[in-house]
């Protein structure tokens, strides 16, 4: 029996259809990707006055935020270099936290042990703050007069913006085109 081209061709309607489980998986993957993208974009855009969680790049305070990108990067590089050369290894800090957790769970409870651990953590934080102050002062001292003036302008602008944001609505100065009816 001779086969004709009609009976040799595969059935396209059966093989072209994607299985239901694969379509559901694709849809869930797409929905999850859109959710993650929305969260990332919302986080980046949502920096209004009602925001309660500080952004990482603003945690250094107004002076750090007023620095130029290059100055922040240089100070960050210097901090990391100092930590590598003179700082305690991260494992030491982790061990401190593990000791703190252990002291919290101990029975009988020893408040003196926790006080000693908190004192050691405060001392570490004070050393890191002192290092940051020193590096900031060194960077400012190396600035030219115009760079220092620009830094001062950005600092003043940031403080004014923060004060305007924190001021109650009725105490805010009216801007052009923003009057009350």
Output the pLDDT for position 149: 94
Q: How far is CA 5 from CA 8, 9, 63, 103, in A?
A: 5, 6, 79, 82
171: left (phi > 0), else alpha (psi -120 to 50), else beta? alpha
Q: Is residue 168 part of a domain?
A: no
Contact status, residue 140 vs residue 148, Cβ threshold 8 Å:
yes
Query: Which of 40-49, 131-140, 167-176 has the lowest average pLDDT?
Result: 167-176
Output the pLDDT for position 140: 92
- 18-63 confidence digits (pLDDT tens): 888 888 888 888 888 888 887 777 666 655 544 444 443 444 677 8
Q: Is residue 110 part of a domain?
A: yes
Residues with Cβ within 8 Å of 75's Cβ and at least 6 positions away in sequence, in order, are 64, 67, 132, 135, 136, 139
Examine the pLDDT at 65 and tell me if it is beyond 60. yes
Spatial distance between the Cα atoms of 12 and 44, rounded to a whole number of angstroms: 47
Spatial distance between the Cα atoms of 40 and 33, rounded to a whole number of angstroms: 11
Q: Is residue 158 part of a domain?
A: yes
Mean pLDDT within 1-25: 67
Output the pLDDT for position 173: 55
Output the pLDDT for position 141: 93
Contact status, residue 149 vs residue 68, Cβ threshold 8 Å:
no
Q: Is residue 85 part of a domain?
A: yes
Handedness of CA 110, 115, 118, 120 (dihedral sign): negative
Output the pLDDT for position 44: 65
Q: Is residue 5 part of a domain?
A: no
Output the pLDDT for position 10: 55
Q: Is residue 81 part of a domain?
A: yes
What's the domain range around 124?
A: 58-163
End-to-end C-alpha distance for the chain, whole angstroms: 92
Output the pLDDT for position 59: 47
Q: How far is CA 163 from CA 46, 64, 66, 167, in A?
A: 19, 17, 15, 6
- 66-110 confidence digits (pLDDT tens): 888 899 888 888 888 888 888 666 667 788 888 889 988 998 988
Number of domains in the chain: 1
Contact status, residue 81 vs residue 105, Cβ threshold 8 Å:
no
At residue 142 the predicted structure's pLDDT band, cuts being 50, 70 and 90, is very high
Q: Is residue 36 part of a domain?
A: no
Q: Is residue 179 part of a domain?
A: no
At residue 148 the predicted structure's pLDDT band, cuts being 50, 70 and 90, is very high
């Amino acid at each position: 029996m001779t086969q004709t081209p009609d009976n040799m061709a595969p059935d396209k309607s059966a093989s072209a259809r994607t299985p239901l489980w694969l379509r559901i998986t694709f849809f869930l993957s797409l929905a999850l990707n859109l959710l993650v993208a929305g969260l990332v974009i919302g986080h980046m855009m949502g920096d209004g006055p009602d925001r309660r969680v500080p952004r990482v790049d603003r945690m250094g305070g107004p002076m750090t935020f007023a620095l130029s990108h290059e100055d922040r990067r240089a100070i960050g590089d210097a901090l990391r270099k100092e930590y590598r050369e003179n700082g305690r290894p991260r494992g030491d800090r982790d061990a401190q936290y593990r000791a703190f957790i252990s002291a919290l769970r101990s029975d009988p409870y020893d408040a003196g042990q926790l006080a000693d651990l908190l004192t050691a953590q405060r001392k570490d934080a004070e050393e890191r703050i002192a290092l940051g102050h020193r590096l900031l002062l060194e960077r400012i001292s190396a600035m030219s007069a115009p760079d220092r003036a620009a830094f001062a302008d950005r600092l003043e602008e940031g403080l004014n913006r923060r004060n305007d944001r924190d001021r109650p609505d009725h105490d805010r100065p009216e801007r052009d085109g923003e009057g009350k009816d």
